[in-house]
Chains A and B, each alone.
Chain A
């Protein structure tokens, strides 16, 4: 593992085995559902069979009488919560709606909306009890799409919902956001070509393999502990405190290993119910969703309708863009349409632009974040239009992007101009790749490119770096390891301390054992928690220097730290390693523990550019991905294998979004594909190897240049596949998924139009 990185680092840039790897290949790692406690009960939820209905009554007396049933709770057991938006991770959360999503109160608002929770001595008994609960509904018509919900006279989901545009009128439009810059009319007047189309993306799910879970233990002294698989233990604590009306200090959240999240495990569903049921029964209570519950009732991401009008001059300069976008929020306000609006043309310098964005409630599950939330929908529309404009200008699509691409100093849609970014570099990387330079031959084959942008997040993180008596170290953080971050944290600490990575243990602490740390999301863990680790390691070094100074009877400023050794300035005292100094800690002032709590401001935006080759079967409409290369600006790759892993995983999710995945609701608003056979995610056979090019344009806002790499690779996915399909068969797909039936229909329509044309000429 002593591979040289060639970048001046000893540890950063190498590929050591992750610290938690052994536990995860031997089955020892404990995920949320693996926890068990003496006397533990099992809970199950009753869920709505209707998309939209008033709850007239709930009667659970029969269910309570079933032997083994210990408690049943409904929304009546939860306190009323404040109706106001609070910042939380990547999205805002309103406790009023959060509580109503966890247990329906006045109404059920989607198929699968939870109504009651049962605790019993076995999961099977709890399931039987759920079937015995009687609910009387007044069924209402549902509004399933943004078009349905925005229509005058649409069924109203939330009677109290208002927006600034419509005054005191009841509405399903939770928010209208507008961004304006420059002179739109003049911009379009200057254009030689204008492309304008409407795009639709289907609601899709994050598709983590591990269902949501929680074990709640309430003690009679009022202290509660929650074990669960979450991206944000501190957010679980905050949200559970709000929903339960219990102070934050009374709740401890112990993060279990997490089986995927992609943004979907940044909110809560079961956690407060496990505590509430534990409080009622006096036993630990475990709740685990099944797959149908995950799909019906846990956060997918918004389906959307987006209209893009964009103009360019003959020589390929974009002159104006006008965009209208509406995103499904699900049953409660809070789609990522704001992020969609801020990302949709961020890769390009467009001086004249207007973006109108609408957050719309519909009778579908409340959406949660999904990897660069809002950006992939947006890029499907904008990157398809960019492709058409490039074609009209007769330019290579990468050249067109480079010509218009954002670089240092380009104004962002909101906020200050970009600092140093790597968008152009990702385009150049694809342009110069073996893949792009190779010839693609054969019928019905085509090559597409597309790019994506994501802000990345900063927020707060804490870290401790403890030096042990033998001179090894442990690095303690509050960031859940969702994709190998223990390795990155240990590597950053090892780099700073001049130790081998194997001398650093990486620990993830519960909410009582480390300072506040925001969720593992927003591509922020390596950036922000990495900053905390970097600072904590430097804090430990400061203390080490003081100790060495004591030993040498010098002033601390007369001691340097170089290559893992303490060095006295000036005279010929032999350098001292941390291992040599460690046994003297006790006599020189006690243990050494470096600490840091940070809210770093220098977030580095992320860009990715992807190239795919596809082959379309014109008889069935099936698309096979033949080759795929993704280039992404990581700023600095700490562990390149896990950076590549993020790039490959995001790309694969993008391909799934493009080709197969969708929520399929029937006319009554009932979800018809509630299993993983029908909610069709990519398998091994659907994908080729995914080639990666890590671009490193260091983030000027981070001491190591880190940007964060978790999300942006998904963004080009739907568009790049659409662009490749067009090159393969000349059909522009403007709706996802580009599944065989939909693509076949488009192919047949094109054929019919071509056959009709010569006939009309006669």
Chain B
């Protein structure tokens, strides 16, 4: 029988320690060990993006990464998107644009969208579609998701502009 390993990582801004079997994926560790079930399993082969998380700022399919590989990493899941009681602009725009129907793919889309907007606050529709091409949604035909991401980018640009103005 395989032995458990103690892993230390940063998860949604907090230091965490957890025990994981060598064969457990990061997705399993998040869901079954750390009880953060917001990250979803859709395929276990890295094709659907439902399990997307940020690892050191990059989008990763958590089903393709072992839990032990999380040692020392900074991980962000859907549970870590909101700033306390304040929703992330992406979350707010997904609600306003009715970008989710069943909602199972939503955590993955939010994470992939955040990764895009963290690096580019002024993406074109094509850039949004490219950034989200690793996430499957079967309900929406993507229309309202793409609109929400473009709208969230606009809101974030505006508030970044406000912050700059305030700092001046």
Contact = CB atoms under 8 A, between A and B. Distances in A.
Interface of A: 15, 17-18, 20-22, 24-31, 33-34, 36, 67, 124, 206-211, 257-262, 288, 290-291, 482-484, 639, 641-642, 644-646, 648-649, 651-653, 675-677, 681-685, 687, 689-690
A143 B113 CA distance: 46
Given A28-B38, A484-B101, A676-B43, 4 more contacts: A18-B95, A645-B101, A652-B142, A684-B132
B162 interface: no
A258 B35 CA distance: 19
Interface in B132-161: 132-147
Nearest to A676: B47
B45 A677 contact: yes
B62 interface: no
Contact of B138 (A17, A642, A653): A653
A258 B103 CA distance: 8
Contacts of B141: 648-649, 651-652, 682, 687, 690
A25 B106 contact: yes
A684 B107 contact: no
B79 A21 contact: no
Contact of A676 (B21, B136, B145): B136
Contact of A685 (B50, B133, B140): B133
Interface of B: 1, 21, 23-24, 31-32, 35-45, 47-48, 50, 77-79, 81-82, 87, 91, 94-98, 100-107, 110, 128-130, 132-147
Nearest to B23: A124
B17 to A, nearest CB: 20
Given A124-B23, A675-B43, A675-B47, A24 B138 contact: no
Contact of A684 (B44, B91, B146): B146
Counting chain B CB atoms within 10 Å of each CB, the highest count among A30, A210, A642 belongs to A210
Nearest to A678: B47
Contact of B50 (A209, A641, A689): A209
Interface residues of B, dominant DSSP: loop
B108 to A, nearest CB: 9
Contacts of B135: 683-684
A483 B138 contact: no
28 contacts: A25-B78, A25-B81, A25-B87, A25-B110, A26-B81, A124-B24, A207-B138, A209-B104, A257-B102, A259-B42, A259-B102, A260-B101, A291-B44, A483-B101, A483-B139, A484-B101, A645-B140, A646-B101, A648-B144, A649-B101, A649-B140, A677-B45, A684-B128, A684-B135, A684-B146, A685-B130, A687-B142, A690-B141
Closest 7 pairs (CB-CB, A-B): A27-B38, A259-B104, A652-B141, A24-B103, A641-B98, A648-B141, A676-B47
A260 B139 contact: yes
Contacts of B35: 36
B105 A209 contact: yes
Contacts of A258: 102
Nearest to B144: A645
A605 to B, nearest CB: 23
A645 B98 contact: yes
A31 B146 CA distance: 24
A546 B43 CA distance: 56
